[in-house]
Amino acid sequence: MHERTHLPGEPWRAVFLNSILPGLGEFSAGMPLRGAAFLAGAIGLAAALAARLYAFIFVPAAATGVRAIATLAALAGALFLLVVGSFVDAYSGVKRRNRERGLAIPPDRRKAPWLSATLSRFVPGLGQLYNGRYAAAGLHAGIWLLLLFFLHASWLFAAAGVLAVLSMASAYRDASRINGGAETFRGAFGPLPRAAVAAVIVAGCLPLPALTGPHLFRVHRIAGGAMRPGLLPNDRIIVDTALYRLGGIRRGDVALFKAPDRPGQYYTKRIVGMPGETIEIREGKIIIDGEPLVTGGVIDRIPYRNYGTCCLPGETVRIPEGRYFFLGDRIENSLDSRFYGPIPLGEFGGRAVKIVRPRRRAGPVL
- Shared domain check, 116 and 35: yes
Q: Whole-angstrom distance between the N-terminal and C-terminal Cα of the chain?
A: 72
What band does 47 get if pLDDT is binned at 50, 70 and 90? very high
Closest CA to 326 of 235, 260, 240, 243: 260
Domain boundary among 157, 190, 212: 212
Domain boundary among 212, 239, 270: 212
CATH number for position 352: 2.10.109.10
| Domains contained in the chain, number | 2
Beta strand spans in 179-284 (E): 217-221, 236-240, 254-258, 266-273, 278-282
Domain boundary among 212, 246, 281: 212
User: Under DSSP, is residue 110 helix (H, G, I), strand (E, B) or coil?
Assistant: coil
Contact (CB, 8 A) for 177 and 133: no
Q: Which pLDDT value is given to residue 103? A: 74
Distances (CA, A) of 271 to 46, 88, 228, 352: 36, 54, 15, 11
Is 87 a member of any domain?
A: yes
**Which residue did the predictor score with more confidence, 9 or 227?**
227
- Helix, strand and coil content of the chain, in percent to the nearest 5, comes to 50, 15, 35
- Shared domain check, 200 and 109: yes
- Shared domain check, 228 and 129: no
C-alpha to C-alpha distance for 224 and 231, rounded to whole angstroms: 9
Contact (CB, 8 A) for 275 and 346: no
Range of the domain at 192: 11-212
Tell the burial category of 279 from Cβ atoms under 10 Å away from its Cβ (0-12, 13-18, 19+).
buried
- Shared domain check, 301 and 277: yes
19-33, 51-65, 246-260, 326-340: least confidently modelled range: 51-65
pLDDT in tens, 303-344: 998 888 888 888 899 999 999 999 999 988 899 999 999 999
Is 5 a member of any domain?
A: no
- Shared domain check, 312 and 241: yes
Q: Which pLDDT value is given to residue 182? A: 57
**To 10 degrees, the CA torsion angle through 74, 356, 214, 346?**
150
Q: What is the mean pLDDT of the chain?
A: 83
User: Under DSSP, is residue 217 helix (H, G, I), strand (E, B) or coil?
Assistant: strand
